[in-house]
Structure formats: C-alpha cells, structure tokens
Amino acid sequence: MFVSAMLQDQLEAMRTDRLRVLIVGAGVAGLTLAQLLRAEGLHPVLIERASNHDDAGYMLALMPLVDEALERLGLQQIYREHSTRFHRYRAHGHRGQLLRDDEIDTLLGKYGDYRGIARGDLMQVLATGGAPVSYESTIKAVRQEPEATYATLQNNKTSVIGEFDAVVLADGLHSSSRALLLRPDQLSTYDTRWGGWVAWVDSDKAHADQGDEIWGADFFVGIYPVKDRAGVIVAGNNADTRQDPAAFVAKIRKQLRASDPWMERALGKIEVSGGLYYWRLVDCRSATWTVGRSALLGDAAAGFLPTAGIGAAMAMESSTVLARQLAAANRSQVPDTLREYERLQRPRVESAQDNSRLLAKMMFRRSRALAVVRDVAGRLVTLKAALGPIIQLLESGPLERQAEA
C-alpha cells in the first residue's frame, strides 16, 4: 500500500544511508526504482506532484521484461493474482473482418509471462509491503557539485534543500522537472496527430485472455484484457475526433462489414460513456539521459506510444538496471554509474521506441488503399515476424550487454 509520508521524515530516514537518492515521480518507473532500492536497504526519497494515486490510468500489456523486477521484489505471485494471461491476439482488417487469431503468449512463453494488468493494479502490486511517498511535492531547482547534488524541494508552500548522491527524474512523458537538466533542443517529440478515447468494459470468460485490434482506414480500435475487464481505445486523426465520441463511433460502424458482440460492446462503451479521457498519441526522446549525478528514467527519458505495448515494461526494465547499478556503487562512483546505466539501456529503449513509431506510421493513416494493402500483409506476415524487434530485445537483455562490456 502507498504510505503518505512527510517530506522531512523521508529526508531524515535517508540521512545516514550509504547512498542518498532522490526520485521525482511515483509512477511505474519511479515506484519500481524506489522499491528495488528499498529492498537493498536504502531509503530513497520518493516525491510525487499529485495528491494521491487515485488517477491510476488504464490498461497495460506487460512483456516478460518486467520479470526481473518482480522476482527481486518477491512479487511474482501477487502480480499473477492481479493480472490476466494475454493469450489470444486477434487482428481485424479495416472492415472488421478477422485476419488472424494467434496465441501470443505461447510465442513469447519461452521468455516469461505476457500478461494484461490495469495500471492501478500494477501500482498497488509494486507498493506491496508499503511504499512511502511525499505527495504534492515537486523539485524546483538542481545544483550539481562534484561531491553531491543539491535539490530544492517544495511541499505545499514549504521549501527545503536536500543533499543527494543521485537524483532521478521519473515524472513522465510531460515531465516538468526535465528542463532542470536539459536544454529545449535536447528534447524531441513525435506527434502522430492522432488521439483516442479510453474506457473500461466488463469482461467474461470467453474474452478474459483475448485482445483485439482493428486497423481501420481512418480509425483504430483496440481491446486489451486485464483482470475481470478490458481496456478499450478508439482512436482517429485529431481532425476527425473533434466530433464527440458517439459521432465518431457511428462513423466507424458505417465502415464495418463484420463485427461481433464483443466488439460492439466495446464500441458501445465509448459511445455512451461521458467524461472519457482523451489520449493524445505523442511521444518524446531525450538526447541524453544523464548529467553529472542526475538521470532521467522511464517516460521522462523516452516516452512511448502505446502501439507496441512495451513502454511500461521498458520503464520497469530500466528501473531494474538502474537499481542494480546504484546498489553496487559508492558515493564517488555515482556519475560513472549513471553513465553506465545510460549506455546499457538507452539503445534498447530507443530501439523499442523506434518500433513503436514504425507501427504508428502503419496504423495511424487515413488511406483506404493502404488499409487494403495492410489487410493482405496481415494475413501473410506471421506474428513471430511482426514481433521480431521485441523478440530480439527479449533474447538479448541488459545483463548480456553488461557482460559484453
């Protein structure tokens, strides 16, 4: 469970640690890193801008890249209890017709579990045993010196300067702290000019382990399993989604020639639900991840589009690599340790991000001719070939890269 902690109490608990670490952002990446360091006997200071963890987000499909973090934390069993097997992946053509039905977890099974989980449930799993967080807290300034980094932290209207050996900024795709390390020209973004509404739909036994996608001529529908329900996203070009969700769903239905009750239930949820969250499909990439004793982590370093379903898993893998590096370092070694973390992880993360961008260029198009070509390719290209870049990441993890150095 999350434990709301006073900032001063966290600073005091950290004061005598052999390595004093500040983590900004208590999302998936920041929380994973904090819990892994706590398992090593450290007391990292974990701060979060939000007032709580009630806004937990939506669905995640987690690749086996997360397994090491869960094993180190002893959370494999509780993770399985709060997630569901992602067994079947069904690809549909632009008219809704079924192109292929694959056992995706069977293909990936040699590398570990492939599971669906709600982001909020993942956060609670990671917080098992207690996760102190100072809410409504931000970092306002960073002053780096050879022997330490001095960070100005603000909680409510109170400011305090903390002395740290390492500062990790993990406050997401739209990080407000990243500018403390990087110049504007060191951050690039990729905007698909698409976005979509997301919602939940209750699942049933027949669809508990099934994911579906329709790559339309000018729309996208995705349904992804989590425990007892499924997450739904209905997306289109920003120019088209200016209309309300019901009107956009009606437009999709006019194009479909094949649709089953499960797909109709998902579309109906978007159609009738009010106050839906609209997800702008953009990502970002930082030119460097480390500056002195400070580093970027997760989406703050490289934010992902959801197209390959790998962003959260890469964030957890990066957190595991960074935790392993920091746990073995002394205070004087921190700058070199952070650079080594970037050397190990940045190529892997950017490779996965490139794959997500490539998929976006194929998926998010307004072209009926391309949709027809995609449908033909969807029948001919095997799932193993389509997942080639991800399989390559699974076969050559950061431990192997470290051994090669």
For 262, which DSSP code?
A: H
**CA atoms of 39 and 259, how far apart (whole Å):** 49
**pLDDT digits over 348-401, tens only?**
999 999 999 999 999 999 999 999 999 999 898 888 888 888 899 998 876 544
Beta-carbon neighbour count of residue 204 at 10 Å? Answer: 11
Sequence-distant (≥ 6) Cβ neighbours of residue 14 within 8 angstroms:
20, 21, 42, 43, 44, 45
Whether the per-residue pLDDT at 402 is higher than 60: the answer is no
- Once rounded to an integer, what is the mean pLDDT over residues 151-166? 94
Torsions phi, psi for 303 (to 5 deg):
-85, 145
Q: Annotate 307-343 with three-state secondary structure.
A: HHCCHHHHHHHHHHHHHHHHHCCCHHHHHHHHHHHHH
Whether the per-residue pLDDT at 404 is higher than 60: the answer is no
Q: Say which CATH class 2-93+112-188+285-367+400-404 falls into.
A: alpha beta
The dihedral built from the CA positions of residue 106, 108, 113 and 115, taken in this order, carries a sign that is: negative
Contact between 235 and 195 under an 8 Å Cβ cutoff? The reply is yes
Do the strands 45-48 and 21-24 form a parallel or antiparallel pair, or are they unpaired? Answer: parallel
- Is pTM beyond 0.85? Reply is yes
- For the record, the structure tokens of 125 come out as 């799993």
Strands (E), 111-245: 115-118, 131-135, 137-144, 149-155, 158-164, 166-169, 187-202, 210-215, 219-226, 229-237
Q: Considering the chain, what percentage of its residues have pLDDT values greater than 70?
A: 98
- Once rounded to an integer, what is the mean pLDDT over residues 114-136? 96
Beta-carbon neighbour count of residue 185 at 10 Å? Answer: 7
Question: What is the per-residue pLDDT for 398?
Answer: 67
For 205, which DSSP code?
A: G
- Once rounded to an integer, what is the mean pLDDT over residues 322-343? 97
Q: Where are the domains of the chain?
A: 2-93+112-188+285-367+400-404
Closest CA to 144 of 383, 373, 338: 338
Question: What is the per-residue pLDDT for 226?
Answer: 96
- For the record, the structure tokens of 106 come out as 């069977």
Mean pLDDT taken over the chain: 94
- Once rounded to an integer, what is the mean pLDDT over residues 107-123? 93
Beta-carbon neighbour count of residue 387 at 10 Å? Answer: 20
CA dihedral of 86, 250, 283, 175, whole degrees rounded to 10: -100
Question: What is the per-residue pLDDT for 311?
Answer: 95
Question: What is the per-residue pLDDT for 216?
Answer: 96
Largest CA distance in the chain: 66
Question: What is the per-residue pLDDT for 355?
Answer: 94
Residue type for position 270: I
**pLDDT digits over 169-215, tens only?**
999 999 999 999 999 999 999 999 999 999 999 999 999 999 999 99
Higher pLDDT residue, 396 or 137?
137
